[in-house]
Structure 1
C-alpha cells in the first residue's frame, strides 16, 4: 500500500519511469550489439584461433636478424621469453587488477564514472584493461558516427569477456605483447626490443623494459628515438608505479632512474638498415621462389604477412664492416673527385648532359605521353620545392627544382661490392650502392659495366690452357692494326721502350694493354670466349679483340663467380643468397644447394700459374699498395681494372676463402674521373677491399679467412715461372726489326 502511494507521487514516479526507460533502451541497444546488428562480433570459436599478420624475418648465416618484410612490423614470441620485470611494469602501469577481473574491471569503471566523469579528476586513470586493449589491438575500431565510442566500448567488453573464458592470463599477456603497437610503426614487444635496443625481449633490462612500456601511453610523444628526455621521464613514471605496487623496491627504482636510456636503434624499414640492396635482391628472388610453394589451405605464401623465416648466406658483421669502409672511402674520394673537376665539372657546365639526363627520367616520359611539349616539361622541372638532398657530410634540406636535384645527383660517385665464399658462392657481403634511399639501382645484380683489365686474367688463362708458356715474351711497343680501322691499343704509361719485352707474369701484373691484345691475337678471340663461358660468364660477349682490354660489360656477381674458380679447384660458382625458407613455426618450406659448375674450367697447372701471376700483381704490380700503403700481410692475389677515360675503377681480391669484387664509378657513363691517378682501380676501388681486410684482421672471428693460406704451388709451376720478368731485344734484332708499328691483327 505504501509503495503504491509512493509510486503515485510525481517526484518518484517519473524518475523511476526514466530509469526504467533508460535501462530498457540500454538493454535493447546492448542486445543489438551482442547479436551483431552493429557488425559481427567474433565468436569463441573464431577467437580460439587468433592470427595476426607477421613480418617475415631475414637472418644472416648465424641466425642474426638483418631485416624484415612487413606491412606491420610484428615478430611474435612465447610467454617464456617475457622477463618478469617487463610483465610487472605493464601490469603496474596499465592494469593493476589484471589477475582479478574477467576482462572488464568493474571496480575501475565505477572509479572512472565517479572521479573522472562526475568530479572531472583526470588523474584518476581510465577503465581500460589489458584484455580490452588486446581486443582493440586485434580488431581495431570502426566509425559508427555519434555512437562510435559507446558501440566500440561495448563490443570490446563482450569480446574481452569471451577471450578471458578461452585463454589463460599468461596467454592473454602473450597475445597482448605480440600485438601492442610501439613507436615507429612497430608491433609487438620483440620487434620493438630488436628495433630500439638491438636485443631479444628476454635480454631487456629493467630500464629498457620500462622505457618500452612507458611508450604505450602515447607512441609518438614518448618515442625514445625522437624524444629521449620525455621518454626517460615517462620511464621513471613506470618505475614509480612498480615501486608503488611493490613489484620493486623504492631503492631499485631510484637507482634505475639515475641511469640514462641508451638506445641501439636498428632500422628495419625497406630503405634503411643493414644491407638494403641485398634485402631487395632477396625479396625479388623470394617472389619467384614462393610461386612454387603453397600453404596447407592451398594459398600461396605472402612474405609480408605469413611470418616466414628466411635463412641467408650473409655475414652480419662482415656486411657491417664493408658498409662502414665503403662510406669512409667514398666520402673522401668524392671530395677529391669534385676538387679535381673543379668549376669545369661536366655536371656544372654541360647543359646537353643535363638535358639528356632529364629526358631519361620516367616523369619526363609520362609528361610526354600526356601531350606536353619539351618546353612545357622543362618549365615544370624548373619549379622549386623543399627537398632533402643526399650529402656525405649529412643530408641537406633546401628549395630546389627537379633540374637542380638532378644536377646535384649527377656529381656522385657510386660503388658496388660483393664478397663470396669461393667454395660454394655463398654471399658474405653485398653493397649495391652508396645509399639505397637515393640510389636504388643495384650495381651488383643489375649493372653491367665495362670490366677493364679485370678481364685480362681470362685472356691469360686461355693462353696457358692452350699451350702458351708462362715465360713467353711479348714486345711492349704499341701497334696499329690496319685491319681493325687503325685501332691502336695504348698503355696507361706514356713511357715505352720499343725494344723491351715482358713475360706473361710481368705483363699481367703490370696490366699491359698492348701485350694483352697480342696474346689474344696469338691464341684467338674465340678460344678466350670459350674459356670465359667455362668460367660461368653468361653474358654474350662480342667476338672482338678489344675484349682483351675489358670493353665488354659484365655484372659484378658474375665476375666474382668466375674468379672463384682460381681457388675452387678450377670450378666456377654462382653467387647465392638463400639457404632455406621456413614457416613461422620453423617447418622447412624449401632449401637450396650451391650452384657449382660441374665442368672444370681449366687445369690445375693453369690455375696455379694464374694465381702466381695475380700474387705478383699484389706484391709488385698494380695492386702493390695493398702491401706498401695499407700494410696487408695476408695471402692475397688480385687484379686491378680501369676502363677508357677512367669511367670505371675495379679491383678483384682473391684470398683462399673469400673472393671480393669492388667497383667505383659514376652512374652516368659519360662522366669519368679527370685523371688516371684518381680514377684507376688501384685508387678508386682497391681501398674498399683494403679497408675491409684491415678491419677483418683485427677480429679473431675472421681468422679462418684472414689467416688462410693458398695451396702449395707445384715445383713444375715454380720452375716454369722462373725466368727474367723482362728482356730487351739484342743488337741484331733491333737492327733488323721493322720500324713500322703498323700490322694486321692476327686472330687464330
Structure 2
C-alpha cells in the first residue's frame, strides 16, 4: 500500500469524529476533546518554534567574543597609534575573577544554573504565574541573558512572546555548544555596567579602582546587584538604592549557602564605599587622526569582507612615532602656557563677570538657559538666576576659555603625514583642529598672493611704496588696509621685504595687480581644495576660513618646488598574520606653480625667519638649518598661525579658542609669532637634535629644463628687450611678467629685531554688506602654472574694479580684518565642524 492510500484511509477514520465534534460542540468539553485541543495547541507551538528558528542568530562560535581583535593603527616605525574597539572592555579568564562575583551572580540570577540546559522551566512557570497575578517577575537564566546581550539586534528587547521564544532557542543553542564555565566567562566579560565600562574587569576598575580578582563580597554584591537595572541601581547617582539592592544580593547568597547568617548580618550593616573613576579608552599617540580615518577604514573593511573591530587588521601609516611624540609634548606645553594667559585675562573679577555683555550672551546660548525657558521661566529671570549661580559661571568660563591648538607635519617630498595633533587633549576636546576646524588664516595666506605675482613675472626685488592704501569696492565703499599701529613709512619696499615683514599695505596693492581670481586659482592648485575661498580683495589678508591640513599641504607645494602632493597617511593594510591585503601608492605630483616662481616665493619666505615676523625661529630656538615660513594673526588676535618649511619637513600650528569671540586679550600673546610659533619651533628643534631631519639639507634651486620652458623664457626676454616690462594690470598671459612702476630700487629700512605682526583695518565710507562673490570651484584637473605666453590666466572679477597701483613700504606687521565688511561679525573665526569632510588619505582623488 503506498503512502497516499494510507493517508486517505486515516483521514476517512478521522472524519466521523471531527464531524461529531463540529455538530455537537459540547463534546469539546469532554476529556477526549480537551486532549485533542491540547494536542493541537502543542502542535501549533512546535510549528511556531520551528518557524522562528531560522530567524535566530547562528551560534557558530561564541568564543569569537573572546578572541575579537581590534584593528591597530601603526606608525611607520612600528609604534601603536590607536586601536579600533567596539567597546571599552578587557577580557579576563573565569579563573581570575574573584569567587564572590560568581557566587553572587549564580545565587541572585540563576541558582539552578548548573542543573538546567539553558532554560529553567520551574522558574519560567513561576514567573508567568506571578506576572499574571500582578507581580511582574523575570524568569531568564544566565544563558538567556547572555543570548540577549550578545545578539540584541537579532533577538530584540521588546516584552513579547516572540522575543522570549527566540531568546530561549538561542540559549539552547549556546548550551548545546559550550560548557557552563564558558557561558559564565562570556557573560561576565560582556555585560554592560554604565560609564562605557563593559565586563567585570572594567566595572571593578570604574567603581572600586581595582581589578576583578581583588573584589570582596560587598563589592561583588554591589556590581551584581546593578544587573537588575544599571541606571536605577547606579551606586554613583543612587547610592541608597544600590545599597538596598546589594543587601538583597547578600540575602540571596546567604539563602543559597554562600554566606553564613553571621556574615550576612555583619555585612548588611556596612556602608557603600565607592571609589568611582571613569575609565577612559586608551587613546594612543594619535587619537584625532584615528577618528578621521575610522569611517574610511570601516568602508574599506565592509567592501573587502572584514570587520574593523574584530579581525585584527593592521593599518600601517606614514606617521613618524618620534615626531608624533614631540608634537604631542609641544602642543601640551604651549597649551598650558597659553592657558595661564587666558585664565588671567578672563579672571572672574575682571573680564568674566555677570555684567559683561559677552558673558550674558554666552549664558543665553547655554543648554541650562534654554531648559529653564522651556520649563516656563521668564527669559530675564532665567538669565538672572544663572548669572547669580557661581558654580555655573565657573563651569561656563572653564569650557569657553579653554585654549585649543592643532599641529600637523608632513614630508613635502612625498606628501606623507608625519605628525597630527588635533587638540591639547583628546579626552577633553575630541574635536579635530587639523581637518575639521576652519579658521581664518591671516597672513599665512599671503604667499598665495606673492606666488601669483611671481608667476605673472613680477620679481622679489620689485618695489611698491609703503603708503596709505584706499581700494574702492563699489557702492561708495572703500577698503583701507593698515598695519595696525605702525604708520606707513612712505618709503619704497621690495616685494621680498613686504612678505618678510608681512606688510598689509604692500600685499593689498599686490592683490590689485594680480586679481583675486588668480589668487583663488593658485591657492586651489597648491592645496586649499576643500574650503570655500571668496574672490574679493581682502582675501589677500586671509579672510576666508581654511583648515590647517590644507595650509600645511599648500606650503608643502612651495617646499617641493611648486609641485602639489596630496597628504597621505595609509600605506598598507595587513591581516592579523601579516599578510598584505592592500597597498596604497602615493598620488602623482601635480604642477601648481612654475619652478622659478616657486623658488622665488620660497626664498622670500626665508626672510620671514631671517629678519621678519618669524625671527624667533633663529633667535629663540637656535635653528640654523635652511628653513622658510610665515606667521599669521587674525582680527582681535582670534587665531594665531605659523607654518615652517624645511626640505624634509613642513609643519604648521594653530592656536585659539573653539568660540571665536573668546581671545587671549593680549596684543603680545595673541600674535601667531607667540602663540603658534613656539609649537613649531619646539618640534623642529627636537627633530633636528634627534636627527629626524638633517640640519645640513638645503633647498635646491632647480632650472626649468624642458624645451618648452626654455623657449618660453627666451621669448619672454625677447619681448622685454623690445617693449620693456608691462604693468601688472596689463599682464595677460601666464608667465609673462607684470609691468612695474618706475620706482627707485631703494632697500627697505633695516629692522631692529622681529617686527610685530600686521593688523589691517577696513574703515570709513558707509559700510554696507559686501556683495558675495561666488568662489570658483576647484577644477576637475588642477591648473598647471606655466610660463608660456599663450597660457593666459583669468583676470580679476569685474565686480571688484581695480584701483591704480599704490606704492609700497617697509615695516613689521600681521593681518586682521574689521568685522562687518568682508567677514560676518558673529561667525568670523568660529570653529565650523565639518565631519563630513572625507578627503581620502589612501590615495589622492581629484
TM bin (shorter chain):
0.5 to 0.7
Contact preservation (8 Å) 2:81, 2:287: no
How do residues 293-692 of structure 1 correspond to structure 2 at under 5 angstroms? Answer: 293-295=303-305, 301-340=306-345, 346-348=351-353, 351-361=356-366, 374=379, 378=383, 400-401=391-392, 403-483=393-473, 485-498=477-490, 500-538=491-529, 539-598=531-590, 600-692=591-683
Alignment correspondent of 1:726: 748
Q: Which of 803, 828, 832 is the equivalent residue of 1:745?
A: 803
Q: Secondary structure at the match of 1:678?
A: coil
CA distance in 1, matches of 2:90, 2:586: 29
2: CA distance between counterparts of 1:151 and 1:644? 65
* Secondary structure of the corresponding residue to residue 650 of structure 2: strand
Conserved 8 A contact 1:337-1:678: no
- Is the Cα–Cα contact under 8 Å of residues 54 and 75 in structure 1 kept in the other structure? no
Change over 3 Å in CA distance of 1:141–1:406 after alignment to 2: farther
Which shows bigger deviation, 320-329 or 511-520?
320-329
Task: Give the superposition deviation at 1:532.
Answer: 1.2
Out of 84, 93, 99, the residue aligned to residue 69 of structure 1 is 84
Closer/same/farther in 2, CA of residues 704 and 56 from structure 1, 3 Å limit: closer
Would you say how many aligned residue pairs link Structure 1 and Structure 2?
555
Q: Which secondary structure does the structure 2 equivalent of 1:610 belong to?
A: helix
How far the C-alpha of 1:438 sits from its partner, in A, is 3.0
Answer whether contact 2:460 2:604 (CA < 8 A) is retained.
no
CA deviation after TM superposition for structure 1 residue 596, in Å: 4.8
Q: Cα–Cα, structure 1 residues 212 and 744, in superposed 2: closer, same or farther, change >3 Å?
A: closer
2:353 is paired with a residue whose SS is helix
In 1, Cα distance between equivalents of 2:647 and 2:439: 26
1:58 counterpart residue number: 73
CA distance in 1, matches of 2:694, 2:191: 44
Query: Could you tell me how far 1:150 is from its partner in structure 2?
Result: 14
Equivalent of 2:699 in 699, 711, 719: 711
Task: Write the mapping of 1:96-115 to structure 2, written as runs, cut at 5 A.
Answer: none
Pair 1:284-2:295 in alignment: yes
Shift of 1:614: 1.3
Q: TM-score, normalised by structure 2?
A: 0.55
Looking at structure 2, the residues matched to 151 and 486 of structure 1 have their Cα atoms a distance apart, in angstroms, of 79
Alpha-carbon distance in structure 2 between the residues aligned to 1:220 and 1:312:
43
Distance of 2:648 and 2:191 partners within structure 1: 44
Q: CA deviation at 1:657?
A: 1.5
In structure 2, do the counterparts of structure 1 residues 318 and 373 end up closer, same or farther at CA, with 3 Å as the change threshold?
farther
TM superposition shift of 1:610: 1.4
Higher relative contact order (CA 8 A, sep 6+): 2
CA distance in structure 2 between the partners assigned to 1:142 and 1:709 by the alignment: 76
Give, in whole Å, the separation in 1 of the partners of 2:118 and 2:666.
62
Seen in structure 2, the aligned counterparts of structure 1 residues 186 and 655 have a Cα distance that, compared at 3 Å, is: farther
Write the distance in 2 (CA, Å) between the matches of 1:629 and 1:141: 74
Taking the TM superposition and a 5 Å limit, the aligned residue runs for 1:28-177 are 50-52=63-65, 53-72=68-87
Encode CA deviations 1:475-498: one digit per residue, 9 max, x unaligned: 112222344623211114524321
Deviates more, 1:574-583 or 1:679-688: 574-583
The change in CA–CA distance for 1:161 and 1:537 in structure 2 (over 3 A counts) is closer
Question: Is there any run of 5+ residues in structure 1 with no aligned partner, and where?
Answer: 1-35, 77-85, 96-111, 113-121, 129-134, 166-171, 196-210, 222-266, 296-300, 385-398, 729-740
Deviation at 1:551, TM superposition (A): 1.3
Instruction: Report Cα offsets for 1:415-446 as digits up to 9, x if no partner.
Output: 11111122333222222222233333322112
**1:219, 1:559 → 2: CA distance?**
57
- SS state at 2:478 partner: coil
Question: What is the SS of the residue equivalent to 1:449?
Answer: coil
- DSSP-derived class of the 2:433 partner: coil
Report if the CA contact (8 A) 1:506-1:725 is conserved: no
Report the equivalent of 2:226. none
* TM-score normalized with structure 1 length: 0.62
State how far apart, in whole Å, the 2-side matches of 1:689 and 1:677 are: 18
Partners of 2:546 and 2:650 in 1: CA distance:
16
3-state SS in 2 of match to 1:563: helix
More strand by share: 1
SS in 2 for 1:418: strand
Q: Is the 8 A contact 2:445 2:542 kept in 1?
A: yes
CA–CA separation in structure 2 for the residues paired with 1:424 and 1:361:
45
How far the C-alpha of 1:707 sits from its partner, in A, is 2.8
Any conservation in 1 of the 2:289–2:421 contact (CA below 8 Å)?
Answer: yes
Aligned mates of 2:607, 2:367 — CA distance in 1: 47
RMSD: 5.3
Describe the shift of the 1:678–1:214 C-alpha distance in structure 2 as closer, same or farther (beyond 3 A).
same
Q: Report the alpha carbon displacement of residue 710 of structure 1 after superposing the two structures with TM.
A: 2.3
